[in-house]
Amino acid sequence: MSFILSFIRKLLQSMLQLLSFSKRTISNTLSVYIKTNTGNTLSVDLDPKWDIKNVKEIVAPRLGLSPEEVKIIFAGKELHDSIVIEDCDLGQQSILHAVKSRPSPKKPGVESPSEGSKPLNETLIDLQLSDRERKSLKTDEDREKTRAHFYVYCGWPCKTMQPGKLRVRCASCRGGAFTVDRDPQCWDDVLQGKRITGDCQNDGCIGSDDGPKFAEFYFKCAEHASQGEEDQAVPLYLIKSNVRDIPCLACTEVSDPVLVFPCDMAHVTCLECFRNYCVSRLRDRQFWSHPEHGYTLPCPAGCQDSLITEVHHFRLLTSAQYAQYQRFGAEEYVLQAGGVLCPQPGCGMGILAEPDCRRITCINGCGFVFCRQCLQGYHLGECEPDAEGSGTGAPGADCQYNVDPSRAAQARWDEASKVAIKVTTKPCPKCRTPTERAGGCMHMVCTRSQCNFHWCWICQTEWSRDCMGSHWFG
């Protein structure tokens, strides 16, 4: 009988809550999703001026609970009743987690969250400050100036650098119903795993009883609506707010934000000078190809151990410049791996072949067959020295005029005709006479006197029965 009375009391309470809440009007709608620890997801429209108590009043009846039994979790913190929604750094289609309250185990050295505690982004002061600088913050104005500002690369839909939002989930089950025991105090707390523990409210969390559970931090773009829990952005942790008003090492201007190189001196550059630095090194192909960090750059001041390890920082370049950066990086990788680049003009396909293989075919590119040693069309016998570039002047001649090699290569009167010949012809494998195929079959006969070599246009080797059977007519 008592069970029935309790059920009727809860039902009446829920109906009264719905009736009283229906009298509210929403002036500015914020559409969010609320996930429960049972796996259900609710779509709810909220007013940013409401507080978390109002959210509980909406969610509780749908969960069959009273508002006092509901706990709202967001960004690693339990949101208490007095917190206003617009102070929670929520965006359109953000995800809140609603779970049934349960006693949290008391952990040594960890205080229970106090009433009115703010979400993670509200309580977190800037990660770029040292411990001594944090302790020197006295007023709310100082704290507001140094509040955390994160910058990320948003791959979609923004495709550019944007302000970011820090989020957290359980490292075991990757669920968002997770509260941290303490806020991160440095970048290592965010970027490295198993540094901050917490409490996972997901009943299905695997290994929930096997020692402490750890937080996993990640970032979202702050400029577009959330696209679900898998919507993530890459943290550009070298880009920081210039709270110390440090001038740029190149132009000496004080800008905000700035990029701080990972060297011992922590040299600072404005973003425009960083782009110019990258473009100049890219033009001269002076990036470093590191086996772990990829195609990257060090501090321009020449500091040791200052390579940029997160190459997404080079997304600050234009799309055309970044495409060139990727192409150069891929070419350097192929060359360092013992490969070769196709020498045919307009191709440049990277090819990985056996070290002792001399005859290389550009299979996935233009199909050009060339000699690995001299990078000319494949031939029999020894390679001939390249006649181009011979006759560089009188021995000991001293020229003080410096010319950009890439510009010099383009400023040659007969270069266009040479390129055309190289593209439309193939050398005879025996005497290397340029030969143009005007149609017909693939069986070529060198017309040079005293040569008359029979060869295959496809294989660029001596004509054989295999050539006749496989591709005589293409």
Collect all residues with Cβ–Cβ distance below 8 Å to 25 and sequence separation of at least 6.
none
| pLDDT recorded at residue 210 | 62
Rounded average pLDDT over 454-465: 88
Identify the band that residue 241 occupies on the pLDDT scale cut at 50, 70 and 90. Answer: confident
Rounded distance, CA 20 to CA 407, Å?
77
Report the helix count and the strand count for the chain, using DSSP H and E: 11, 24
To 5 degrees, how large is the angle CA 342–CA 345–CA 349?
30
| pLDDT recorded at residue 387 | 46
Instruction: Look at the pTM and tell me if it is higher than 0.75.
Output: no
| Pair of tokens at residue 193 | 């795993």
Cα–Cα distances in angstroms (integers) from residue 212 to residues 103, 170, 189, in the given order: 17, 11, 16
Identify the band that residue 300 occupies on the pLDDT scale cut at 50, 70 and 90. Answer: very high
Rounded average pLDDT over 360-388: 83
More reliable by pLDDT, 133 or 395 = 133
Reported in sequence order, the residue ranges of 209-361 that DSSP labels E, i.e. its strands, are: 213-221, 234-235, 239-240, 258-260, 268-270, 288-290, 294-296, 340-341, 350-351, 359-361
| pLDDT recorded at residue 418 | 60
Q: State what percent of residues in the chain have pLDDT above 70.
A: 76
| pLDDT recorded at residue 15 | 55
Rounded average pLDDT over 347-364: 88
Collect all residues with Cβ–Cβ distance below 8 Å to 371 and sequence separation of at least 6.
358, 359, 360, 377, 378, 379, 383
6 pLDDT exceeds 50?
yes
Rounded distance, CA 411 to CA 430, Å?
32
Residues 109-147 pLDDT 10s: 554 444 445 556 555 666 766 666 677 767 767 666 666
Rounded average pLDDT over 195-212: 78
| pLDDT recorded at residue 422 | 65
| pLDDT recorded at residue 396 | 35
Identify the band that residue 9 occupies on the pLDDT scale cut at 50, 70 and 90. Answer: low
Rounded distance, CA 283 to CA 50, Å?
55
Reported in sequence order, the residue ranges of 195-312 that DSSP labels E, i.e. its strands, are: 197-200, 213-221, 234-235, 239-240, 258-260, 268-270, 288-290, 294-296
| pLDDT recorded at residue 42 | 87
Token pair 């909406």 is at which residue? 58
Rounded average pLDDT over 333-347: 87
| pLDDT recorded at residue 419 | 60
Amino acid, res. 420: A
Query: Which is it for strands 434-435 and 426-427: parallel, antiparallel or unpaired?
Result: antiparallel
Say how many Å lie between the first and final Cα of the chain, rounded.
91
Rounded average pLDDT over 209-213: 74
φ/ψ of residue 325, rounded to 5: -60, -45
| pLDDT recorded at residue 347 | 85
CB 370 within 8 A of CB 358: no
| pLDDT recorded at residue 86 | 84
Three-state secondary structure string covering 334-377: HHHCCCEECCCCCCCCEECCCCCCCEEECCCCCCCEEECCCCCE
CB 164 within 8 A of CB 151: yes
Residue in 67, 79, 242, 245 with CA at minimum distance from that of residue 151:
242
| pLDDT recorded at residue 320 | 94
Instruction: Tell me which residues are annotated as active site.
Output: 441
Mean pLDDT lowest among 175-179, 426-430, 449-453: 449-453
Mean pLDDT lowest among 419-428, 442-451, 454-463: 419-428
Crossing angle, helix 2-21 and helix 52-63, to 10 degrees?
A: 130
Rounded distance, CA 328 to CA 446, Å?
38
Rounded average pLDDT over 182-186: 85
Mean pLDDT of the chain: 80
| Pair of tokens at residue 36 | 């429960």
Q: State what percent of residues in the chain have pLDDT above 90.
A: 26
Residues 145-171 pLDDT 10s: 666 688 999 999 999 999 998 899 999
| pLDDT recorded at residue 433 | 81
56-65 CB burial, b ≥16 within 10 A, e <16: bbbbbbebeb
Residues 54-81 pLDDT 10s: 999 988 888 888 889 899 999 888 888 8
| Helix or strand run (H / E) with residue 8 | helix 2-21
| pLDDT recorded at residue 153 | 96
298 pLDDT exceeds 90?
yes
